[in-house]
Copies of this chain bind each other. A is one copy, B any other.
Amino acid sequence: MKPVVLRSFCDKGPAVDFFVARKEYVKSGKIATVRIRRLESMTKIRNMEEFAAVSGLSRPTVSKYFHDPDSVRATTRARIEEALERFDYRPNIYAVNQNRKLTKNIGIVVPYLADPFFAEIARYLEQSCIAAGYRPSLFSSHGEHKLENEILDSLRSLKPAGVLLAPLGRASDRSAIEKFCENVPTVLFDSNLEGLGAAFIGSDNFSFVSQTVEYMTRTGEPPSFFEMRTPANPNANKRRKAYIEVMERLGFEPHVVKIDGEGWAFEEIGRKGAAKVLGRRELKTNSVLCSNDRLAIGFLSACYEMGIRVGRREDCALRVASNDNHPFSRFTCPSLTTAAHDYDNVAGRSVETLFELIENGGKLGNRTETLFPARLVLRESA
């Protein structure tokens, strides 16, 4: 038997003054065991070097294990996992990512996280990424293009394998996003910026509006369209256009009601706008299609306050429908008839496309735009 080779591996810190047997640990029992116990009780593992030492392996082997546990021998793997239980060491993710050419990071950026719609879709995206073995990082632009740009800068440092980006839209700094997309595999979702990113996945705004308009005209008066004068999101413009187009196709005169307001407090904007419009009797129809659910929530709130009965029943004065199927639209009074995003498909296809993009080394063929149709959700309000 060879002599017991004791090898120093800590050259500073609390573990400065003792040693640990490495491969000899297996063969030459006692001494090494004692030393290791002593280590075990005294210090925490600070890096992979130390962890490799206590598991009696070399650092490259341990590194290999963390990259892919099946890439090492079964006995080796067992040894590492045993040590893992005793020491609960984890590689420093950021150091790992700095060195790996392909990281498992994925950036998710949404324009406004306090909006439950984005919160919900972000949750779905995060979980899909985790399920696929990636590490998502979530960012919210909070409605500010300056912050959006800073997030993109942070993301560069993260060296993400890919990014799922729902841009602010009109407020976005197009050239900044363009540059970013040149360097990082990016899939846009929810809000399209023409030509940017490897692909866009979103909802078909035309499908939203055509379904709600057709439903409302079929079952009653054709609706007016209720929206913000200066919408933050480009989807809003598409919805207005779709409304006008569908109305004209059906032979009705479109009525677009534009209300004032800036920012992301859509409910309050909708409430005030509705109060104004209803108070002045500017509404020419007894049915209203809101550009999005958050405006509709405010609209319904105003109606309630003014004692206007909303719903599809005969004793109601007004019907209100909307678009998005916001998580709370089920709980408005009355519950909101709305065109639902195909959340699952938008989110699912977004991550699928991104994974495909990543596997192809960051390049896909032509830039594709995938639009999922809406699903009409009939509730009480229209």
Chain A residues proximal to chain B, CB less than 8 Å: 90, 92-95, 97-98, 113-116, 119-120, 122-123, 126-127, 135, 137-140, 142, 153-154, 156-158, 267-268, 271, 297-298, 300-301, 304-305, 327-328, 330-335, 380
Contact = CB atoms under 8 A, between A and B. Distances in A.
16 contacts: A90-B156, A94-B94, A94-B97, A94-B157, A113-B119, A113-B122, A114-B119, A116-B116, A116-B119, A123-B142, A126-B140, A127-B142, A135-B154, A138-B140, A304-B334, A305-B380
Contact of A153 (B90, B116, B119, B330): B90
Main secondary structure of the interface of A (DSSP, over half): helix
Most chain B CB inside 10 Å of its own CB: which residue of A114, A135, A301, A304: A114
A333 B138 contact: no
B298 A331 contact: yes
Contacts of A98: 92, 94-95, 98
Contact of A113 (B90, B113, B297, B301): B113
Contact of A142 (B126, B140, B153, B305): B126
A53 to B, nearest CB: 20
A267 B328 contact: yes
A301 B271 contact: no
A84 B327 CA distance: 44
A140 B123 contact: yes
